[in-house]
Amino acid sequence: MDQPSSPYARFAWVRKHDGRLVPFEADKISRDLFAAGEGLGKPDAFLARELTDSILHFLDAEVTGGIPTTSQITDLVIKVVRELGQPELAMAFAGAQAEAARNGDREVLPAAGTASVSGHKMGPPLRELADWVAGVPAPGDLIWKTASSGLRDFSLSEIFTRDLVAAQ
């Protein structure tokens, strides 16, 4: 089995609950912490990344020999996040992980209220569009401005991950 690249080379693999080996992804920890913060109404991509870096440090120190299990990593994430002064986030993370385990270890879906193309109006609000038209712009300028607004909304809701949108 080829080793995936990782800053923590000895954590190239993780053993899942069912015994499967999957590549270790530090970004999954960060995404899960961000989703937990988002569930609390406090999405912070930078905090999630900083906490993940600390977790990786302690993971390197605490997991000795062999391949870590998802349970070991989850327990360590909760402990480190709590000890670094984020007990509410640690509890939200633990709840999300428990929910994922009940759902067959599937990744937790985006938080409620996340925009989608089918349920979200793209482009500028009508009032803003009316203001643009009232300024009597050149047709090409109006098309460009309207299209840019719609593409921006689409990109933020459908292309970029929630943590990048929050950082933006």
Identify whether residues 93 and 135 lie together within a single domain.
no
User: What is the distance between the alpha carbons of residues 141 and 22, in angstroms, rounded to a whole number?
Assistant: 50
Q: Please report whether residue 64 resides in a domain.
A: yes
- Please identify, among 60, 86, 102, the residue that sits at the C-terminal boundary of a domain: 102
Per-residue pLDDT of 2-27, as tens digits, reads 444 445 445 678 888 888 888 888 88
What pLDDT does residue 4 have? 44
Residue 15 bridge partners (DSSP)? 21, 69
Flag whether 130 is in a domain. yes
- pLDDT, one tens digit per residue, over 65-99 is 778 888 889 999 999 999 999 999 999 998 888 88
Which residue range(s) make up the domain with 94? 9-102
HSE (side-chain half, CA atoms, 13 Å) at 12: 7
Q: Which of 68, 102, 136 is the last residue of a domain?
A: 102
Q: Is the pTM of this model over 0.75?
A: no
List of residues 6+ apart from 42 with CB closer than 8 A: 89
134: Cα within 13 Å, side-chain hemisphere: 6
Examine the domain organization and report whether 78 and 133 are in the same domain.
no
Tokens of 160: 């970029």
Q: Are residues 91 and 141 in the same domain?
A: no
